[in-house]
Amino acid sequence: MSTPATDQYFPGLEGVIACETSICSLEGRGEGGLAFRGYSIEDLAESVSYMEAAYLLLHGELPNSGQLISFESRIKSARPVPEALIQLLHAIPPSVHPMDVLRTSVSVLAHYDPDNGAVSTDHAANVRKAERLIAQMATAVAYRERIERNQPLVPPRDDLDHAANFLNMINGGEPSETKRSAFDKSLVLYAEHELNASTFSGRVTVSTLSDIYSGIVSAVGTLKGPLHGGANEEAWKVLEQVGAPEHAEEWIASALARKERIMGFGHRVYKHGDPRARILKRYCTKIAAEIGDDRWERIAEPIEREVTQQKQLPPNVDWPSARLYHYLGLDIRLYTPIFAMARVAGWASHIIEQLDHNRLMRPRGQYIGAPPREIVPLAKRV
C-alpha cells in the first residue's frame, strides 16, 4: 500500500502530476511550449497535416511517405458507419445536444468494431480501434448535421483528405484550398493538449482496465461541459452579441466595467498566450480576405486588444476557432463535436499509453465534514 508524501490539497488538481507521458509537453520549444512527442506546435502547424499529426500521436513518430499512404488508406476505408447507427441518428430527437448524440454514436460504434473481443490491454488492437474512431466519429458528426438540416446524407469520398472530406460531407461541396488547409490546421491544433479534463477522464476510466471505447465515451461526456469544449461556442456568441464593428469598442468597455467574463480568453496553463490562438488567427485573416468580408475580424480585434491589455488575459484557441468555423459554413452546434473528432487522436493515444503502463487512478479527498460521532438511536433523535 502506497503512502502519500504529503496531505496537501490542490483545488481542481492544479499543478498535480498524475502520470508520466511521452505524448505531449506544455514546456517544449516554442512561444507557448506546446509540443507533440517533441515537435513544437508551431512547427507541426507549419509542416504537417492532421493525418500526419494523428499518426505521430498514435504511432510515436512522424510517418514516411509509405506509412502515411497506408495510414490514410486505412482511415478512408473505415469512414462508413454501420446502418444501425445511421438509423439511430435519424431517430434521436432534434432537441438532443450534439455532444450527447456523439457520445451515443461512439458507444454504438464499439459494438460493431471488428476488434470488439480483444482484451483492453491489446496494444495493436487498441491502435486499430483508434484509427477507426478517427474516421467514424467524423462521419457520425457530419451525418447528424445533415439530418439536423433535413438534407440528404453525403457519403464519404475516398479521393478527399480528412479535412476536405468532412467539409464536403457537411456542405455538399468541396472547400477551397484555403478553407481546406485552415480546417486541417485547426484539427492539428485541437488534436492533443496533455492532461486536460477530458483526456484525464479517459485515462481514469481505462485505468480500471475498461476498454478504449469506454474511455472515449468518458472523454466526450467531459468535453461537453462549457468550461472545456463549449468555450468556442460561447466565443462566437460574444461576436454575435456585438454584431457590428462600430459597436465593438463600446461593448467591450461596458463588459469590462461590469467585470463580465468573456469566453475565449485566458488559459489555466498558458499565462502569456496560447500559441494555437496566434496560429489560427492568421488563417482567420486569410479566409476573411478570400470571402471578401472582414467584419468579424474587425469586431474581434478591439475585444482581443482590450481584454489582453486590461485583464492580462490573451486569447486562447477558442477565440479564433469560433470565427474560423463560421467562415467555413459550420453551424455553432458543430463546434464542440469538431473539437472531439480532432481530439480523439490525442485521447486515444493517452488511453493506449495508460493501458500499456497501467496503474489504477485512485486519488484521495480531503475530508471537511462532521467530526467522529456516535449514532443516536432512532427513538431518541430530535
Q: Residues 331-347, buried b or exposed e (16+ Cβ, 10 A)?
A: ebebbbbbbbbbbbbbb
* CB 336 within 8 Å of CB 282: no
Q: How far is 276 from 53, CA to CA, in rounded Å?
A: 15
Query: Which one of 162, 193, 267, 326 is the catalytic residue?
Result: 267
Contact 299, 240 (CB under 8 A): no
Maximum CA pair distance of the chain? 79
123, 129, 131, 134: CA torsion to nearest 10: -130
> Which segments of 121-230 does DSSP mark as H helices, in order?
123-148, 162-171, 177-190, 197-206, 212-223
Q: How big, in percent rounded to 5, are the helix, strand and coil portions of the chain?
A: 60, 0, 40
In Å, how far from its chain's centre is CA 279? 17
Active site annotation includes 331: no
Q: Is 359 helix (H, G, I), strand (E, B) or coil?
A: coil
Annotated active-site residue 318? The verdict is: yes
Task: State the catalytic residue, choosing from 211, 274, 318, 350.
Answer: 318
Catalytic site positions: 267, 318
